[in-house]
Amino acid sequence: MISLITNFLTNAIQSGTSVLYGIYGETITERSGIVNLGTEGSMILGAIAAYIVAADSGSMGLAIICAMLAGGALALIHAYLCINRKANQLASGLTLMFLGLGIAAFYGREYVSVSITGLNKIAIPLLSKIPVIGEAFFNQDILTYLSFVLCPVLWWFLYKTRKGLFLRAAGEDKEVVYAYGKNPQSLRYLATVLGGMISAIGGAQLSIAYTKTWSEGMTNGRGIIAVSLVVLAKYNPSKAMIGAYVYGGAQALNVILQSQGVEISPFLLMMLPYVITLVALFVSSVRKGTNAPNELKNIIGG
Amino acid sequence: MKIMKKLLALGLCVSMMTAMVACGGSDSASTESTSAAGEKTTIGFIYVGASDDYGYNQAAYKGMEAVKAHFGDKVEILNQEKVPETSEASDVLEQMIQSGATILFPTSFGHLTPAEDVAKNYPNVIFEHQGGMETMPNLGTYFGTIWDPYYLAGIAAGHATKSNKLGFVAAFPISQSLANVNAYTLGAQSVNPDITTTVIFTGDWSDPAKQTEAANTLIADGCDVLAQHQDATKTIVELCEANNVYTVGYHADASELAPNMWLTAAVWDWSGLFVDICQAIMDGKWQGSQYDAIYRGGMAEGIVDLAPFGKAVPQEVQDEILALKAEMIAGTRHTFENEIKDQNGNVVCENGSFLSEEQVESMNYFVEGVIGTIE
């Protein structure tokens, strides 16, 4: 039973980590008043860029940097279209998602059968020996640890720095930012590109750390799930883990119930991550009103 | 300043267009064509995935290469990878016909309906669909009894396991997968009747993250041999090697990915069959041949086989398996024969009888000793 719980936690974190980066990235972006449905595109570009660089250079650090550049570049197009060209954000984001998937498939063609060393798990001494949770939390790959660290860092950035304050203000009321002599548009550029870069690390985690495989379309909707989980995380990086691990936990539960031979249709179990995510969204939105940044309300009309 | 902005916008448009063209380019780039001259027969192959996936599509692609090598200048080959199982497949097949194709191989099970839609409009073009049960006057279907080598692989797994727990990662509870799981389990139980197989369905033919999740869970649960029915097999095979867990592959030989932990695999070899089918069509003898309806071949025809054994399989086990393989080829032994019970204890095969290919391909149960739920 204990080993089942450990296994559940380990799987929940591993399945949730890529989504967690997506939530972090999209939270930053949405906080500035921009919705980027192209998160999936940034993630898949991150996955392929990291894989190509990992395979060709062997340097994992370089792989992660290139993943961030690729994901950031796609988000930069979104920022330009939405901010300078006043394009419809939903249309731009969706289109960029498909563009990202297409570019990744094109450049990934040669890498389907290529093997890489990738990022292996690193057990943290002492901590990884804690019963039940040690293995799950402290025997993971470096990108998973980074995702733990990013939680307070991003929260601190958004809520404790001047830059973060103005960034949030751009999402609430850009006129206020103007009044303070700052340009909300450049803050939105920053937030969108940074969001794309962070999301892309999630893609890299999938390809070079978790699965050590490149496969076309391997993000498989995780970026889209991340966008919807931003709402569950109440647009706050400190709650992003809740969103990510609700999804990851549901996915882990599906697999563990199957391995225990529980007599529930596998088709129902496969739906579990999506059903639980929907239920969580339902419950969280019933309880309290929305914390959505004010400027987001103009997007549908925009 | 304004002009700068316009220029920037233009530049962005151009770069995006280039990217789009680059993406589209992957399609046309993979359509290999030798210059048409003389009386060449044009043969088209479509695949649902990538041709080097260590899996289903790689096996079909190798069959195409055999056709190309065998007929040389007499044929022109059209290839298209990653064709979805939608009306897009119809479009691709139609384009191939416009390019002169008279023989078409839709190689994925889900290409059936799109192929049928096209086939009824082109009665002179011959279609050979992989893995189905439906036929038309100009559409035949072929497949192989892959569960036979899976039974043999089960014997290797039965000898290798120490925990007596085998793991199996499948995609969906379709009959083909159930047959493989059952055959594998029966093979292992022929070594030790206490062996169980735990099955996890991922709900995806090739999502590496879900494959990893399933494999990790099976390993944590104590399974020390993992087998699979996925399209792309690389992720799980490599994961097994990294975790010191034995691995049984599928579709294609992936032993190079797991030099220490590789046992064997149930694999396809379409080369002989594809060449034979094309020859029959080119000779005008397809109608009335064994290929114009439902064709099934097995180890005897060389369509399915065991991959080479890994060094983890002892010589005496290899000998035992190969001896049984010879009996199966001779037709004196069958994978599903004598009394077999399903998970609920119902007898699904009587003593002294064996299941027909049709019965196997319509299986809707797990045999005793499988841990998993179908519906």
pLDDT digits (tens, 9 = 90+) for A219-249: 999 999 999 999 889 899 999 999 999 999 9
Give Cβ neighbours of residue A87 (< 8 Å, ≥ 6 apart).
A81
Which A residues 75-134 touch B at CB under 8 Å? Answer: 77, 80-81, 84-85, 99, 102-103, 105-106, 109, 112-113, 115
**Cβ neighbours, 10 Å, residue A69:** 16
CATH homologous superfamily of B147-267+304-371: Response regulator (3.40.50.2300)
CB contact under 8 A, A14 and B212: yes
Q: Do the beta carbons of residue A48 and residue A232 sit within 8 Å?
A: no
Q: How far apart are CA B213 and CA A10, in angstroms?
A: 10
Q: Is the ipTM of this complex over 0.95?
A: no
- What does the domain layout of chain A look like in residue ranges? 2-114+137-297
Which A residues 17-46 touch B at CB under 8 Å? Answer: 18
Q: How far apart are CA B375 and CA B343, in angstroms?
A: 13
Q: Is the pLDDT of residue B38 over 70?
A: no
Phi/psi for B60 (5° steps) reads -65, -40
Task: Select the residue of A113, A259, A265 nearest B218 (Cβ to Cβ).
Answer: A259
DSSP E strand stretches across B217-273: 225-229, 246-251, 262-268
DSSP, residue by residue, B326-366: HHHHHTS--SSBS-EEBTTS-EEE-TT-B--HHHHHT---P
Q: Which of B4, B23, B47, B233 to mutate to test the interface with A (most CBs of A within 10 A)?
A: B23
Predicted local confidence at residue B51, as pLDDT? 86
Predicted local confidence at residue B180, as pLDDT? 97
Q: How far apart are CA B85 and CA B109, in angstroms?
A: 8
Give Cβ neighbours of residue A129 (< 8 Å, ≥ 6 apart).
none
Nearest C-alpha in A relative to B216: A11
Query: Which of A166, A261, A102, A115 has the alpha carbon at shortest distance from B24?
Result: A102
Q: Do domains B38-144+270-297 and B147-267+304-371 have the same CATH topology?
A: yes
**A270 and B CB contact within 8 Å:** yes
User: What architecture does CATH give domain B38-144+270-297?
Assistant: 3-Layer(aba) Sandwich (3.40)
Nearest C-alpha in B relative to A12: B213
pLDDT in tens, A66-114: 999 999 999 999 999 999 999 999 999 999 999 999 999 999 989 998 9
Q: How far apart are CA A104 and CA A49, in angstroms?
A: 8
CB contact under 8 A, B209 and A210: yes
CATH number given to A2-114+137-297: 1.10.3470
Contacts of A7 in chain B (CB under 8 A): 216-217, 220-221
For residue B351, give how far its alpha carbon lies from the nearest alpha carbon of chain A (Å).
28
| pLDDT band for position B133 (cuts 50, 70, 90) | confident
Task: Select the residue of B9, B23, B218 nearest A85 (Cβ to Cβ).
Answer: B9
Predicted local confidence at residue B158, as pLDDT? 97
**Cβ neighbours, 10 Å, residue A1:** 5
- What does the domain layout of chain B look like in residue ranges? 38-144+270-297, 147-267+304-371
What is the reported pTM? 0.88
CB contact under 8 A, A215 and B26: no
**In terms of residues, how long is chain A?**
302
| pLDDT band for position B27 (cuts 50, 70, 90) | very low
Question: What residue type is assigned to position A23 of the chain?
Answer: I
CB contact under 8 A, A113 and B9: no
**Cβ neighbours, 10 Å, residue B351:** 9
The 3-class SS string of B98-153 reads HCCEEEEEECCHHHHHHHHHHHCCCCCCEEEEECCCCCECCEEEEEECCHHHHHHH
